[in-house]
Structure 1
Amino acid sequence: MTGRTTSVTTAPRIHGRGPHLRAVAALSDALPQRPGALLLTGEPGIGRTTLLDHAARSFTAGQALLLRAAPEQGLRPYDGLRALAGALGAVPGRVAEPEARVEPLLSALRRAADGRPLLLCLDDVHLWDAPSRTLLGRAARRLPEAGPVGLLLSAAGYAPPEPAGLPVLHLGPLPAPDAGALLDDLTDPALDPAVRDELLEHADGNPALLLALAGRLSPAQLDGRQPLPHALTDTLTALAAPCLHGLSPQEADLLLLTATALRDTEGEDADARVVGAALECLRDGSVAGRAPRGDAPFPVPRRAGRLGERGVGAGHLLAARAEPVEELAAAVARLVRLVDGQLRFAGPVLRRAVYAGASPDRRRAAHGALARVLERDGDRLRALLHRARAGTGPAPSLAAELTAAATDPRSPAPPRLRSLAYAGAAELMADEAARAQCRTAAAEQALRAGLPRRALALLDTVTNAPVPDAVRGRAELLRGSAQLLDGPTATARASLLTAAALLTTDALALAATATTGAADAAWAAGDLPGALESLAEAQPHLDDYRRGLRAVLEGRREEGAQVLRRVVAGEADGEGSLRAAAAALVVGDMPAASRVAARAAAVGRADGNRGVVPRALEYLAYAELRSGRHAQARAHAEEGLREAERAGQRNTAAGHHAVLALAASIEGEPAAVAGHAAAALATARRHGLAQTATLAQWALARADLGRGRPLEAADRLGPLVRPGPRRGHFAVWMLAVPCFVEAAALAGRPADARRAVADLAAWAAFGADPQAPAQLLRCRALLAPPEHADRLYTRALDLHERTTGDFERARTELLYGKWLRRRRRLREARDRLGAALVGFESCGARVWAEQARGELRAHGTAPGAVHAEGLDRLTPQQCRIARYVADGATNREVARILSVSTRTVDYHLRNVFAALGVRSRVELARLVEQAEQPQARP
């Protein structure tokens, strides 16, 4: 550790650490009045040092001292303390009892602070000796005696046993989008997408590993011209080496067994009872490759008690005669935690490093020990898998056992475990064709488990294998299905059509599945002819779903809807339930779509069919959105996005981003709309997802419309709803027509709007959108002469009574209220505008509610409105114009919004400037912002 303050010339961009940055900032901000301490933990390379650097760099209230520990400071008692005291300019006295050393340390901190705030950042305190950590913890609990001192610590792994009692903040892996953003910061924009994906997958959310992996690649490897090196494990093990250095054989065995057991789990936990029993097998020499040690193991209970936040003491798993149990516990507790009988590593990179860093003989011994325990417990599939990994060569009989166990329908094994079993059996086979069939089965189970990238990697190994057409067709079906979830739609469709051609003779049902998948790919791409071609009558086994969908796409809507309703009514699971949900969306039965999609997600979770869950949640979120339940749609899309990112389904994740952008456009969150729309469009453009792109563009336009910017909204929506090559997706663009008509009418482009109303009329007649009939009348009212508009608005409101959702009704009330106010029918206008305000507030449409409030202010009857003293001088119309101008609108835009001339706006704005004594729009914006602040603090 050095006593110098670390300076960083350029601040690195920190991704995905918002809560952690806020916690660190709270500690720093409270320093002058409230001294405190915080311990940051996490696996090596997770970003602890970056956060400490940021805290030291951004601390401006006083002095910040950033000190880093060194391994040699853990060799002798109190070495860490001596280094700290020296850095502070003091040396603690020679006192035998640790408690007596607290006073000199507090005095040194007090002198270093000298009455001003001091932020002391200590990195890697796990490298300190135990007595120094104990003393530091005692001093941290008495920090107020040292003055305005803050203590920010970091330790690798989980929190070490000391310093105890401090608030702990654990840093986990970066979410996939944040890891991707970090990689984009580190690399050239020409980074090959496939290389980017592989780096992100291998780094597993660890920033330092991601940086190290990217840094070791040549330009030719980064842009995809040369293959990546096969062995990247040396980078992995080098990163974790400092944490694993100096472990005793017993500690190393415990960590290796835990890491080995975790290779086959669905989550992040391993059964502590199984690991403890396997450790006993290793230590008594009952597994080949390990000699008996003579140490009796400590029995592990079937359900261990909760041990708090500091991890698992190794004494709960083994009793060592040669070493004190306390020292053994301290070494392991930083890396592994025991909670409710389950063992968990501090992070996935650390777990992988433990396994990769062990010798092949030690790994085989660990697998053999776990196989013995699992066989004894009756977990045959896992036991066979570990036996396979403990071997050293082909074993046909074991491969047959493993294949039979993976195929057994009575087994409760999840798809991911079955996939591992099939892949393990393939490694034991000598016949190339048999291996290819096993890997194809492994890919199928990986796809069911929601792992499309793993499925594609397995399928790549069977490309040139000598297999029958039926096996190759099945492989292409799986390839196309995986690419449909995470790849270009054109590639997916080509693979699926190839599969259909190969399967037509021997597997007609699978051929039908392939053609349906090809239609899905064409649908996602907005390729109507391609979708119809995939649904042609000549295809075998034309089921109700394909027959009904084909009729709808050909314009025979009533006939198609009747057939699709049979699909909705049928009981189905897995992919069949997704078809039923899709059919319900096509025919406009939103309650059925919500019900079927929710059931599909629940069944998928229960059965371990994780591949279904993100897509089911996408259908569910979309159904809720179209039903007007935007908050529920947002909740389902947020869950679906997490599931899709975890499963590597980037296409599905993009769909969830689009739904979230639409929900945010209603709730009035411009930053959220822009962020989700950008994420959706990034994947949509790369993979050809026309439907997702159309939804994202619609969300951006609706956000413009909600903020009173109809010209921008009309410009964005025009290409999507007009005929031509830029028209939006054939199944989505009609949903955006009401927004376009409103935007075009308010922007002074009624001719453009009239052309779109005819298309909306045909869509409303189909009956697939419950809101469309009322929206159609609203659009006609916007364009109608005064003698007809009143009746059209009234009829639209009557139709809204037959549908759910407050948002669309409130939009009609708002437009009707504006129309009434312009015609001086003030009492009626007040009623409509008040109803619009209530409707917008009830569904959380804040920006739209502000529009209604603005109209009520202009009317002079805004409920609960609080005006600044200066704004009280304005008339309602002047107040309204002032607010639009303060929001950035030009005079011409204000005139369009208010349906007045530009000269009228000019006249009122001059009077506003004179009344308020301001000379520029900037001053006006500042004054209006101050006027709104009291309303923001209810």
Structure 2
Amino acid sequence: MVTAFPVQITLRGRDDECRAVRDLLDGTAGGALLFHGEPGSGRSALLAYARRHAGARTVLAGAGLADEAALPYAGLQRLLDPVLDRAAALPDRQRRVLRRVLTGGGCPDAQRLTLATAVLGLLAVAARDRPLLCTMDDIDAGDPQTAATLAVVARRLSRLPVALVLAATGAAAAGDLPARRLRPLDEGQCRALLADRRPGPPPPAVATGLAAVSGGNPRALVDLADALTPGQWHGAEPLPAAPPAGGTLGAAYRARLDRLPPDTRRALLLAALDPDGDPATLDRAAGAAGLGPEALAPAEAAGLLRAGPAGVTFPHPLARTMVEVVAPLADRRAAHLLLARALDGRPLRAALHRAAATDGPDPALASELEAAAAGADDPAEAVTALRRAAELSDDPARAATRTVAAARRAWTAGDPDRARHLLAALPGDPAGGARADLLRGEMQLRCDAPATAVTTLLAAAEAVAPADRGAALLGLVRAGEAICLTGDHYRYAEVARRAGALRRPGDAADAELLTTFAAGVGATLRGDHEQGGPALRRVVVLGGRLSGPALSPAALVCAAVAGLLVAVDGAAHRLADRAVELARARGERSVLPRALELRAVAEYWLGRHATAAETAREGLAIARATGQRTCARVHLGILAVLAAVRADRTTSLARIAEIGDGAAPGSRPYAYAQWALGVLDLIDGRHADAATRLASLARTGTGRGQVLVQVMATPYLVEAAAHDGRRPTAALAVFDRWASSTASPSRRALSARCHALLAPRGSAEAERQFRTALRLHPTDTDRFERARTELLFGRELRRARRPRDARAYLHRARETFILLGATVWAERAGAELRAAGESVGSPQRPAAQLLTGQQLHIAQLVAEGATNREIATRLSLSTRTIDHHLRNIFHRLGVRSRTELARLFT
């Protein structure tokens, strides 16, 4: 146990409530406040806060006591006792009623208003010398007569210097008084409270876990923090599943339950242990225990649950947990067995209930749990079943296998911390250790240590291969992914060699896909596109044919990677999108960030930059939610590049800053960041810096660095180098070999553009290459890159003293950039147009600043769809005059058609 610091921790997250208390106390008029919330939410702390800030006020404090709930007006007597000596100042009738009531004589219904008036008068007398503050805690736990009387009094305080602050579990305790519900703390507030409680804040994952276990309840959070071991506080051991039964909150719930009849407590425990709240199941279990439907009524009256036709619900989420936690062990086991027998058609849930009532090994029940978990839809339930199956196993090897399976399900569902804790509980050298290492390696790859993952996965794949060739192949492919992520591409040859050794004649489609994929990637990375291209195209075909047991998000991810490597962007996008949808349908959250990464890259190549950014943002959110820090950095890198390409410096630099120092030099996130910075350098005219930065993404011929990222960035590298007369021969040769090996017109268009930029200025070769690029650029996709080629070609023609020829290309480029929202690039095209003799306005300047009043009116009418003849009629001008104005409007706005003009105005 840890001693708390002397800090008012329970007021974390209660700023609004504290402000309401101060406002009430600072006012000259009287009034009342009611705070309500579940036990442990900080109600008593707020009343204490009010008393500390009472200032010059006289303070009366009381509380409702469950032991006195059957004594009418007991709470009122204790609250007013300090000022009863002033009752002599009341009128005789009020004084007699008040004295009779407070001495146990009762109060007939006809005199209840007289009693309330007497209490109000007594408070007024007590407040003559100094204003008064009255606080009443747990008003709904004490006698109801006190609560009813104080509610009447509270409504009549507006003319008195009396403040009344009440606290209760439910809002109905004091009728229609101004009430504030104490909501659960959010994660940030939970973090702050934990930092108050113990020296050295816990790791973020621990704080998140404690916030979830506590449900944002301050008292539960404090009890948890006090009960944690040092290993749990620092994240080395699993966190408890519930607040401790011996904590302050547990004591509060235990006292609350002790006030209920025994049959109600038994029925309430059954309801708490059945997470579905199914009324039929609960009725059967209660009937088997000899309990009638009326057994839950006292619990409902106490506000612990709500019962209805749809079943039982707990208004306070933590109440269900605490009812279970504080119940005696024997009662819990009996309730679990009743529920197990009552469940119909729910084998997994029934087995879990029986397991909860079992102490010691039970091999048969362990096997039943394992079998039922295989078909479970709820990942958390499956993990619990497999973990419990391991605990019930009498064979250490079987226990280890089931623990690894539980960890795998936890990781797949997006909970790496739980998976790690399960793996950490394995014995030193268990059977199935290789499978555990496969899982460890995958988590290292996605979460925090891709360089370590390579060694882990290669060793685990070799160990598991004799027993499970499919698992070994998937491990090898993931080792290859780690190699590409870290930039040590020369090591991929080993992955390809090992995968080739596992190939068998007549392999099923999924095994053939993995071995062919490893061979194709290995060949592509060593520059052998003649061998790599056909292999990867075969993978794309196989990925599109997968069905049945062979269909998995992991296989589709491999097929999407293959599609990107051979530049079949549409197929790659379909495969990645299918992987995303399949992963969602199966609840495999761990693979979603990788699948979304590939979909975003495919959308980049398809020219859908806005969609790619949306996909990457989704991937980033899921990666962060599932603890995949490495994947999160990759998505940040993609977002940085997308922002840089669109000249959004602020967003790009912000994304790079988020990557921080966590990306090792040579890794993919680091390369993406460098690519983004290189593009920003290029846009800012720092061509030498841009070329140096982009050339450093990979070391050609060594197999080190991010070769694939540099291939993507090569068009920008060549553009930057061309300004300084450099020739990035090695990088362009790699790009050319790859582009020519694909059937992608867009890649070959970029290759032609690169050669055009490096050709002598004004030469026939430069013009030929630019025209080839424009012919190859697809017209239905990749509009951004086509516009960039038109801008560069227009600039080349202008510099070759052919301004008239340049304008057509520059106009088209500017139009496309404006339509795509690429304002900076549109400005570049506008600047080139002005240099070519055109007078165009800035796309960032509103039309009202570029046009005369008459021109603006005509432009607005055109945008609305009016013809020249209709505009002439409306303005009493000739159509020739309208034609003249319209030519000037087009010239000033830099548009070439009525459609462009309408778009500009919308």
**Could you say which TM-score interval applies, normalised by the shorter chain?**
0.5 to 0.7
Question: Could you tell me which of 722, 727, 730 is aligned with 2:707?
Answer: 730
The residue aligned with 2:332 is: 363
The residue aligned with 2:726 is: 751
Question: Could you tell me which of 279, 292, 300 is aligned with 1:273?
Answer: 279
Give unmatched runs, 5+ long, in structure 1.
1-7, 29-37, 53-66, 84-92, 109-121, 147-151, 263-269, 299-317, 873-935
Aligned equivalents of 2:211, 2:520: Cα separation in 1: 45
The residue aligned with 2:90 is: none
The residue aligned with 1:327 is: 301
Aligned equivalents of 2:820, 2:308: Cα separation in 1: 44
1:849, distance to aligned residue in structure 2 (A):
4.6
Is 1:774 aligned with 2:769? no
Is 1:201 aligned with 2:209? yes
Aligned equivalents of 1:871, 1:527: Cα separation in 2: 58
Residues 166-217 of structure 1 deviation map (CA, whole Å, 9 limit, x = unaligned):
9999977857xx799979998999989xx55444334339676778877988
Secondary structure class of the residue paired with 1:577: helix
The residue aligned with 1:657 is: 636
Are the equivalent residues in 2 in contact too, given 1:399–1:426 (CA < 8 A)?
Answer: yes
Is 1:473 aligned with 2:459? no
Aligned equivalents of 1:635, 1:351: Cα separation in 2: 39
The residue aligned with 1:439 is: 403
Is 1:234 aligned with 2:244? yes
Q: Which amino acid aligns with 1:774?
A: A
Task: Name which of structure 1's ranges 499-508 and 338-347 shifts more when overlaid on structure 2.
Answer: 338-347
The residue aligned with 2:813 is: 836
Aligned equivalents of 2:421, 2:692: Cα separation in 1: 44
Aligned equivalents of 1:137, 1:837: Cα separation in 2: 71
Q: Which amino acid aligns with 2:436?
A: A
Are the equivalent residues in 1 in contact too, given 2:616–2:635 (CA < 8 A)?
Answer: yes
Is 1:501 aligned with 2:462? yes
Are the equivalent residues in 2 in contact too, given 1:509–1:541 (CA < 8 A)?
Answer: no
Q: Which amino acid aligns with 2:575?
A: V
Are the equivalent residues in 2 in contact too, given 1:837–1:853 (CA < 8 A)?
Answer: yes
Q: In 2 relative to 1, CA 326–365 (structure 1 residues): closer, same or farther, beyond 3 Å? A: closer
1:342, distance to aligned residue in structure 2 (A):
8.4
Q: Which amino acid aligns with 1:568?
A: V
1:383, distance to aligned residue in structure 2 (A):
0.5
Question: Could you tell me which of 449, 472, 475 is aligned with 1:488?
Answer: 449
Secondary structure class of the residue paired with 1:732: helix
1:548, distance to aligned residue in structure 2 (A):
1.8
1:379, distance to aligned residue in structure 2 (A):
0.8
- Counterparts of residues 381-780 of structure 1 (less than 5 Å): 381-407=348-374, 411=375, 413-464=377-428, 467=431, 471-536=432-497, 540-542=501-503, 543-570=515-542, 571-572=545-546, 573-574=551-552, 575-665=554-644, 672-681=651-660, 684-685=663-664, 690-702=667-679, 717=694, 719-720=696-697, 728-743=705-720, 749-751=724-726, 756-767=731-742, 771-780=746-755
The residue aligned with 2:508 is: none
Secondary structure class of the residue paired with 1:430: coil
Residues 1-22 of structure 1 deviation map (CA, whole Å, 9 limit, x = unaligned):
xxxxxxx999x999xx9xx99x
- Counterparts of residues 334-353 of structure 1 (less than 5 Å): 343=313
Are the equivalent residues in 1 in contact too, given 2:714–2:731 (CA < 8 A)?
Answer: yes
Q: Which amino acid aligns with 1:380?
A: P
Q: In 2 relative to 1, CA 743–440 (structure 1 residues): closer, same or farther, beyond 3 Å? A: same
Q: In 2 relative to 1, CA 607–848 (structure 1 residues): closer, same or farther, beyond 3 Å? A: same
Give unmatched runs, 5+ long, in structure 2.
1-6, 24-32, 48-58, 80-93, 99-110, 125-135, 160-164, 504-514, 853-903
Are the equivalent residues in 2 in contact too, given 1:809–1:839 (CA < 8 A)?
Answer: no
Are the equivalent residues in 2 in contact too, given 1:512–1:540 (CA < 8 A)?
Answer: no
Task: Name which of structure 1's ranges 769-778 and 819-828 shifts more when overlaid on structure 2.
Answer: 819-828
Residues 729-751 of structure 1 deviation map (CA, whole Å, 9 limit, x = unaligned):
22222212333444556xx6443
Q: Which amino acid aligns with 2:776?
A: L
Aligned equivalents of 2:713, 2:43: Cα separation in 1: 46
The residue aligned with 1:914 is: none
Question: Could you tell me which of 851, 857, 861 is aligned with 2:841?
Answer: 861
Aligned residues: 772
Are the equivalent residues in 2 in contact too, given 1:450–1:610 (CA < 8 A)?
Answer: yes
Q: In 2 relative to 1, CA 537–432 (structure 1 residues): closer, same or farther, beyond 3 Å? A: closer
Aligned equivalents of 1:839, 1:360: Cα separation in 2: 71
Q: In 2 relative to 1, CA 435–783 (structure 1 residues): closer, same or farther, beyond 3 Å? A: same
Aligned equivalents of 1:724, 1:190: Cα separation in 2: 49
Aligned equivalents of 1:634, 1:124: Cα separation in 2: 52
Q: In 2 relative to 1, CA 613–682 (structure 1 residues): closer, same or farther, beyond 3 Å? A: same
Are the equivalent residues in 2 in contact too, given 1:39–1:166 (CA < 8 A)?
Answer: yes
Aligned equivalents of 1:338, 1:853: Cα separation in 2: 68
Q: In 2 relative to 1, CA 181–365 (structure 1 residues): closer, same or farther, beyond 3 Å? A: same
Secondary structure class of the residue paired with 1:865: coil
Aligned equivalents of 1:840, 1:339: Cα separation in 2: 59
The residue aligned with 1:928 is: none
1:531, distance to aligned residue in structure 2 (A):
2.1
Q: Which amino acid aligns with 2:494?
A: E
Are the equivalent residues in 1 in contact too, given 2:64–2:143 (CA < 8 A)?
Answer: no
The residue aligned with 2:341 is: 372
1:385, distance to aligned residue in structure 2 (A):
1.4
1:97, distance to aligned residue in structure 2 (A):
7.5
1:72, distance to aligned residue in structure 2 (A):
5.7
Is 1:296 aligned with 2:292? yes
Aligned equivalents of 1:806, 1:140: Cα separation in 2: 70
Q: TM-score, normalised by structure 1?
A: 0.64
Are the equivalent residues in 1 in contact too, given 2:211–2:221 (CA < 8 A)?
Answer: yes
Aligned equivalents of 2:148, 2:233: Cα separation in 1: 47
Task: Name which of structure 1's ranges 353-362 and 178-187 shifts more when overlaid on structure 2.
Answer: 178-187
The residue aligned with 1:787 is: 762
Residues 740-789 of structure 1 deviation map (CA, whole Å, 9 limit, x = unaligned):
444556xx644376775444434433438764333334444445443135
Task: Name which of structure 1's ranges 125-134 and 241-250 shifts more when overlaid on structure 2.
Answer: 125-134
Q: Which amino acid aligns with 2:329?
A: P
Q: In 2 relative to 1, CA 233–792 (structure 1 residues): closer, same or farther, beyond 3 Å? A: same
Residues 606-625 of structure 1 deviation map (CA, whole Å, 9 limit, x = unaligned):
33444444433332233223
Q: TM-score, normalised by structure 2?
A: 0.66
Larger CA Rg, structure 1 vs 2: 2
Q: In 2 relative to 1, CA 402–710 (structure 1 residues): closer, same or farther, beyond 3 Å? A: same
Q: In 2 relative to 1, CA 493–869 (structure 1 residues): closer, same or farther, beyond 3 Å? A: closer
Q: Which amino acid aligns with 2:451?
A: A
- Counterparts of residues 57-72 of structure 1 (less than 5 Å): none
Are the equivalent residues in 1 in contact too, given 2:811–2:829 (CA < 8 A)?
Answer: yes
Q: In 2 relative to 1, CA 566–539 (structure 1 residues): closer, same or farther, beyond 3 Å? A: closer
Q: Which amino acid aligns with 2:775?
A: D
Aligned equivalents of 2:611, 2:788: Cα separation in 1: 20
Are the equivalent residues in 2 in contact too, given 1:640–1:656 (CA < 8 A)?
Answer: yes
The residue aligned with 1:56 is: none
Task: Name which of structure 1's ranges 521-530 and 794-803 shifts more when overlaid on structure 2.
Answer: 794-803
Are the equivalent residues in 2 in contact too, given 1:820–1:828 (CA < 8 A)?
Answer: yes
